[in-house]
Amino acid sequence: MLTKKMEKALNEQINAEFYSSYLYLSMSAYFVRKNLPGFAHWMYIQTQEEAAHAMLFFNFVNERGGTAELKAVAKPDFNWTDPIKVFEAVLKHEQMVTGLINNLVDIAITEKDHATNNKLQWFVAEQVEEEANATEILEQLRIVEGKGQGLLLLDRELKTRVFVNPLLPGAAV
């Protein structure tokens, strides 16, 4: 059973994860407009991943006897000046999400909610991966100055990303 404090915090995280999904979908649309289909694809996969994270929290709240409360999702940014600015925003956003996850862990610990703390450890590890991926792409963009043949090669590489749905049976969540 979730405490009211933990339930409220998890519901806020559901909203934050859906916002992340919207943000990355907006970024995908930006890259479509810039005719960078690999970047658009990478962001679209990120959109799916964030929506799946929201659903993992949603399902967990329900499994623990809580009430999943869906709230309006804020409008994300939609206009950036270049791919470097987009990935700077990605990294900043993922760092913010890491802070949100860490806060959830802190609440779970203070509430002595070992089941939630255990569930959150997957998200802690996931955020390490999210920040590392964003940093790697951002640094590669900076190397090629966000333009030219380097940008096109990176676009081609990002097109190969595949979505692995953590909601499917057998997924390690």
Residue spans of the domains in the chain: they are: 4-158
What pTM, to 2 d.p., does this model score?
A: 0.95
Tell me the average pLDDT across 141-151: 97
Can you list the pairs that 101-108 forms with residues at least 24 positions away whose Cβ atoms lie under 8 Å? 101/13, 101/127, 103/9, 104/9, 104/10, 104/13, 107/5, 107/6, 107/9, 108/6
* The pLDDT of residue 173 is above 70: no
| pLDDT tens-digit readout, 114-135 | 999 999 999 999 999 999 999 9
**CATH no., domain 4-158:** 1.20.1260.10
| pLDDT tens-digit readout, 66-109 | 999 999 999 999 999 999 999 999 999 999 999 999 999 999 99
